[in-house]
Amino acid sequence: MMEKTNTTWKERASEKILRTVPHDERISAVNNQGMAYCGMAAFAYVVIRLLYCGIKGAFALPEFVLLMLMAYILLHNARKNGICNLPVIMGKTLNPDKKAVWSRMGLYALDAAIFAACFALIMLLQDHSVAGFLLSFFMGFFMDFVFQMAVKEPVVRKYRKQQEMLDAEENDMT
Amino acid sequence: MRNLKLKAARIEHDMNQEALAQAVGVTRQTIGMIESGNYNPTLNLCIAICDVLGKTLNDLFWSEPSERSK
């Protein structure tokens, strides 16, 4: 009768693979780097394809979904590994202080204004109407401002929380 | 495994995590994670930390196998 072992199928499979394929930390690092290069190539392809479709007047939905998925994977991986950096807007790092909320709002507004101006200019080139330009500007400004707030404020809060945690354990020898 | 030796050496040098991080060219989060045992630094980073704190690798990063299993 076969002896039952306590190992899971994953452990058994991993052991089998490691026995047949040469594997160590250097090879693993090289493979990870290779995978990262593949990711970069895929990212470049997706961006070029999106631009190409944009110029041709089409919308490449699968590529757009893939781009969003790539962004999500990057963010998720960073979060899983405890990386939390302050967002940067126009070369300025956001001030994480609770009292600096208005300075952050100013940077969100600046970003939104630049985005809205570009968006409105594109609309003006297509539409040739001043009313359309103004409408696009205000719509773009509002959308980008809300987006910046929704995405960046939680990051700032998380950063502040992490700094508080680091402060608490900085000199704790227990 | 938490690295209390590193934390003690840093405090002994009157440095906070931010100062040590700047001295070795990493973020404060990385120093915090090394001290709390959540990140294995590369040998180069270990040597840089030792240089700044005036310690050897043994002083900061070596522990007896019996301690490691705790």
Tens-place pLDDT, residues A15-74: 888 788 777 888 888 999 999 999 999 999 999 999 898 888 888 899 999 999 999 999
What residues of chain B lie within 8 A of the CB of A163, using their CB?
Answer: 28
How many Å lie between the alpha carbon of A80 and the closest alpha carbon of chain B? 12
The residue among A28, A93, A170, A172 with the most chain B CBs within 10 A of its CB, best to mutate, is A170
Degrees, nearest 5: CA angle A64-A67-A68: 90
Q: How many CB atoms lie within 10 A of CB A50?
A: 16
CA distances from A121 to A53, A130, A150, B26 (A): 20, 10, 25, 42
Please state, in angstroms and rounded to a whole number, the distance separating the CA atoms of residues A115 and A109.
10
Closest-CA distance, A166 to chain B, in angstroms, reads 7
pLDDT for A10 equals 87
Note if the pTM is more than 0.80: no
Chain A residues with CB under 8 Å of B17 CB are: 166, 170
Give the residue among A112, A104, A105, A137 at the shortest CA–CA distance from A122: A137
The question of ipTM being above 0.85 is answered as no
Pick the residue from chain B with its C-alpha nearest to A83. B29
Q: Is B33 on the interface with A (CB under 8 A)?
A: yes
In tens, the pLDDT along A122-173 reads: 888 877 788 888 888 999 999 999 999 999 999 999 999 999 999 988 877 7
Q: Report chain A residues touching chain B, CB-CB < 8 A.
A: 82-85, 162-163, 166, 169-171, 173
∠ Cα B52 B57 B58 (to 5°): 135
Beta bridge partners of A88: A93
